[in-house]
Chains A and B, each alone.
Chain A
Amino acid sequence: MPDATGLELIAQEIRNEDAETVLDTEFHRGRAVLVINPARVKSVLAFLQNSGFTALMSVHGVDYYPHEPRLGVLYEMLDRKEVDRISVKARLHTDDPRIDSVTELFPGVEFPEREVYDMFGVVFEGHPDLRRILMPEDYEGHPQRRDFPVGGEPVLFTYNEEQNYGKYV
C-alpha cells in the first residue's frame, strides 16, 4: 500500500493531467482509496496501469444506502513488482448508473463487470457482452441492492395453507 503521502502524490499526479478526475482520497487502516469522477474511470485506470499497477485484481459493487450517491464500483489494483495495492472508487446514482467498461485495458474484467451489473444494475458502457451472470436471464431486479426485499418467495405453512402458493398445477 502507498502510505497517506504516497496516495496524495498519486492523486496529485492524476490531477495534473485532468483536474476533475480525482474527487477525493481516503486513507483508512492502511488502505488507500482514490475516489474518482466516474466519467474518467478509463483514464485513471490507464494511468495506474502505466505507473506500475498492472493487475486489476477485482471489481465489485457496493450499495451505500442511505448515503448518496448510493452505488459504488470499486477497482482493486495491484503492483506486482512493488507488491503495492490501491483501490479506485467511483460513486454512481441509482437512477441511471452508467460507467465506462475497462475491458479494453483489462480483458479479464469482463466477468466481474457482468456480476456487478447483475447484482447492482450498474451498466458498463462498451462491455462486449453485458448479460446477467449469476441470476437467471429473466430475473427481475438487482438483488444485492439494499432496497431489495430480504425474503425471497413466500413459503406454504399451515397458517397460509389456504393461499396455496406451492400448488402444483
Chain B
Amino acid sequence: MEVKRERLDDFRVRQFQARDLLRGDLDDEDLERYVSERVLTTTVEKAVAWAQGNSIYPLTFGLACCAIEMMSIVGARADIARFGFEVFRASPRQADLIILSGRVSIKMAPVVRRIYDQMLEPKWAISMGACCSSMGVFNNYALVPSDKFMPIDVHVPGCPPRPEALLHGILRLREKIQGHSREGWRARYDAFGTEELLPGAADLQSADVSVFKPGDTAGA
C-alpha cells in the first residue's frame, strides 16, 4: 500500500526551506523547485518603473482653490497613502511630481517653471483643473495655460476636480510610468475623424473660431 504524503506548503515549511537554502542544504531537485517557485525574473527597467510608479512623491505646492482639493487627497477619505503617494515633499529637490493646482498667472509662470527645473529627473507634472489647462473661467489677460511653459503629463479636468478625479489622474500617471499607458486610444478604437474639427480645417482667422491673439486689440 502506497502511503501518499501530502506536501506541506504552509508558511513554516517555506521558512525551513529558506533556511536550508541559505545553509546550502537544499539539493538538486528541491533547490530547483524552490527557486522556480520563489524567484521572479524581470528587467531592471521594469523593476525600477514599478518602484517609481508606486512611490511618487508630490511637491507641497498649491496655487489656488484646486489646492484645497489636492490637500484632501491625503485625508482619510481619498487617502493616497494606499498607493504610496502620501509623502508631500517640501522641497522640489525631493519631489517627483508637481501638481499645478490652480490658475497660473503670467507673473507666476516663470516661478513655476523654475521650481519644475529644480526637480530632479525623473519628474512628472499634473495640470489640475480647468484654469491650469485652458484657463477656465479666468480666461483673461492675466493667465497662461500650463502647456505653454512646461511639459505636462496628465491633465485632470474639473472646476475644481474632485479628490477622486485627482486620484484617478495620479493613477493614470502611475500606469504611464509603469509602461502600460492608455495613450493612443484613437488608434486602438480606430477613432480618427471623430475630432471636433479635422486638423487643418480650423483656421483661427475665420469667424466661427473666435480666439483672440495676444496683442490683438481689435476685439472689444
Contacts and interface: CB of A to CB of B under 8 A. Distances in A.
B144 A153 contact: yes
Contact of A153 (B135, B202, B209, B220): B135
Contacts of B16: none
A153 B214 contact: yes
Contacts of B199: 159, 161-162
Contact of A163 (B139, B143, B145, B204): B204
Contacts of A152: 135, 139-144, 212, 214
Nearest to B198: A159
A105 interface: no
Nearest to B200: A162
Interface stretch (B5-13, B92-100, B147-155, B170-178): B147-155
Interface in A136-169: 136, 139-141, 143, 146-163, 165-166, 168
Interface in B190-220: 195-197, 199-202, 204, 209-220
B141 A148 contact: yes
B107 A149 contact: no
A19 interface: no
A135 interface: yes
Contacts of B220: 146-150
B106 A139 contact: yes
Contacts of A135: 106-107, 141-142
Nearest to A167: B147
Contacts of A148: 141, 217, 220
Interface in A112-138: 134-136
A14 to B, nearest CB: 36
Contact of B145 (A136, A147, A150, A153): A153
Mostly, the A contact residues are loop
A152 B217 CA distance: 11
Interface residues of A, number: 28
Interface residues of B, number: 36
Contacts of A141: 141, 215, 217
B52 interface: no
Given A141-B215, A150-B219, A151-B212, A166 B197 contact: no
Contacts of B202: 159-160, 162-163
Contacts of B106: 135-136, 139
Contacts of B216: 149
A166 B148 contact: yes
B55 interface: no
Nearest to A151: B212
B134 A157 contact: yes
Contacts of A146: 220
Contacts of B140: 143, 150-152
Contacts of A166: 145, 147-148
Interface of A: 134-136, 139-141, 143, 146-163, 165-166, 168
Given A154-B213, A157-B134, 13 more contacts: A134-B107, A140-B215, A141-B217, A143-B141, A146-B220, A149-B213, A151-B211, A154-B204, A155-B145, A159-B195, A160-B202, A162-B200, A168-B150
